[in-house]
Amino acid sequence: IVNQTKILINGEFIEWKGPFQDVFSPIYIQSESTNSLEKFKIGSYPIATNKESIRALDAATKAFNGGKGEWPSMSVNDRIMAMENFIHKMESQREPIVKMIIWEICKSVKDAEKEFDRTVEYIKDTIIALKKIDKESSQIKTVSGVLAQVKKLPYGVVLCMGPYNYPLNETFATLIPALLMGNTILFKPPRQGILLFSYLLDAFKECFPQGVINTLYGRGRDVTPVLMQSGKIDVLAFIGSSKVANGMIKESPFANSLHAVLGLDAKNAGIIDETANIDWAVNEVIQGAFSFNGQRCTALKIIFVHSSIADNFNKKLCEEISKLSVGMPWDNNVFITPVAEPEKPEYIQKCIDEAIANGGEIINKESGGGIINYSLVNPAIIYPVNEKMNLLYNKEQFGPILPIVPYYYPEEPIDYIIKSNTGQQVSIFSNNTENISNFIKSLRCQVGRININSQCQRGPDVFSFNGRKNSAKGTLSITEALYALSIDSVIATKDN
């Protein structure tokens, strides 16, 4: 149990006396007294108020000091040295952080370890990219008689917020590049995936100058409006839902011009055409739709299968789904674990009910598809799905349930993607090069990434991670994130 009592502001720990918010694991534990399954408390964190938010904002603003603060004016090499020291301390906390990822959001041991290691790699790769950018931007160029140096400089104060599904990796996807570019940070961890940061507070304090990183705890709706309304947030770096992001941006007096780097909604579609290799497609669809219980922004969230192969595809899919092991994160080879959001089981049930009321079926019912046992949700395949099933057809389920839509003409999935409010990724499964090339032509300007005969995914992290429409603003990958969290400064003179 981790009772987090410290708030890091201005390089000092405030010892919080209360109130605290309890954190429960998605894992239910058998109670000794009642013998029934009960929620299991794994810790608590401070419910801070506006007062702490303002203190944190003042500290970050002072540490930036119009770009003259110690951190923004430090050489890139010195900032990198501070970050390398941080990596070293972070690596020493691998075990407790991985354990917390397991207990807080129920990632399997393998996935939790992967998230930690991937994050460390991400930081190291960001350092390499920064060295390259710094070398290039230190050069002086002459263009049309003007002598100039174009340097990437920090914006100022960055408010960083990450999601619960990759609490470490995606929070650091903006926090680390923002820091390396010389910005100062206000950092609010996700409500689930918050306790793991307790193991990094000392490292934040020891590795970076006073006020450079400040933590915010408490409910977002309590602690963030005052920050946004202040007009002193120079960048909002947020990964989560577009509803929350838009709500925050609206609070800013500079809503129209506020610089925001955002990773938002996605309803990524998979298209299985009549020539696809069914075994291969099934395997990729399972990985794409059900890894970490479908709780990934990049998950495949709806599948369009050509009607001529739908029966074969569905049969194979159900067969393979029945082999997935459902259990606790520490079980050997476990694939489906408890869902992280407390309200998710009820939501999945709503999706199922709506689908059944409109002619859909759980086609893997025989092997337990759709059975919900507290937070453990057996993966469900729903077929045939149509537009009357609003939740499954249009909304992001972020859970282990997959809608399958039969189609007759390629225009049907293409139209769906064009009309969608989101535009992150798409997967096309086909063995016909002409079909593939037609899909690419139609969809290239609709989504950020097209995957051919492979699931949707963000990695390798060096690739651009972005999206169109409500899916993203800016590009979140290594070099691009450094660009997104800095701004060009030109010093120019006439070349006589």
* From candidates 64, 103, 164, 166, binder to ligand G3H by CB under 6 A: 166
Q: Least distance in Å: CB of 118 to ligand G3H?
A: 8
* From candidates 161, 237, 297, 302, binder to ligand G3H by CB under 6 A: 297
From the list 78-86, 212-220, 292-300, 369-377, the region that binds ligand G3H by CB under 6 A is 292-300
State yes or no: residue 268 binds ligand G3H (CB under 6 A).
no
Q: Least distance in Å: CB of 91 to ligand G3H?
A: 21
CB of 146 within 8 A of CB of 179? no
How far does CA 454 lie from the centroid of its chain?
20
From the list 140-148, 315-323, 427-435, 457-465, the region that binds ligand G3H by CB under 6 A is 457-465
- The residue among 86 and 292 lying less far from ligand G3H, judged by its C-beta, is 292
State yes or no: residue 261 binds ligand G3H (CB under 6 A).
no
* From candidates 214, 215, 293, 298, binder to ligand G3H by CB under 6 A: 298
Compute the distance between CA of residue 157 and CA of residue 187 in angstroms, rounded to an integer.
Answer: 10
Longest Cα–Cα distance in the chain: 87
Mapping DSSP to helix (H, G, I), strand (E, B) and coil, where does residue 304 land?
Answer: strand
- The residue among 340 and 362 lying less far from ligand G3H, judged by its C-beta, is 340
From the list 132-140, 164-172, 247-255, 366-374, the region that binds ligand G3H by CB under 6 A is 164-172
Mapping DSSP to helix (H, G, I), strand (E, B) and coil, where does residue 287 land?
Answer: helix
- Helix-then-strand count for the chain, H and E: 17, 25
The H-assigned helical ranges of 428-477 are: 433-443
Q: Least distance in Å: CB of 266 to ligand G3H?
A: 8
State yes or no: residue 164 binds ligand G3H (CB under 6 A).
no
State yes or no: residue 339 binds ligand G3H (CB under 6 A).
no
* From candidates 231, 359, 459, 460, binder to ligand G3H by CB under 6 A: 459
DSSP code at position 326: B
- End-to-end Cα distance, the chain: 68
State yes or no: residue 457 binds ligand G3H (CB under 6 A).
yes
Contacts (Cβ under 8 Å, ≥6 apart) of 61: 156, 157, 184, 232
**Structure token pair of residue 366:** 């025989």
- The residue among 378 and 466 lying less far from ligand G3H, judged by its C-beta, is 466
State yes or no: residue 475 binds ligand G3H (CB under 6 A).
no
Of the candidates 43, 317, 355, 87, the residue with the CA atom closest to the CA atom of residue 204: 87
Of the candidates 103, 92, 90, the residue with the CA atom closest to the CA atom of residue 171: 90
Q: Could you tell me if residue 211 is left (phi over 0), alpha (psi between -120 and 50 degrees) or otherwise beta?
A: left
State yes or no: residue 458 binds ligand G3H (CB under 6 A).
yes
Q: Least distance in Å: CB of 44 to ligand G3H?
A: 26
Cα angle 463-465-471, degrees, rounded to a multiple of 5: 160
Residues in touch with ligand G3H (CB under 6 A): 165-166, 170, 296-298, 457-459
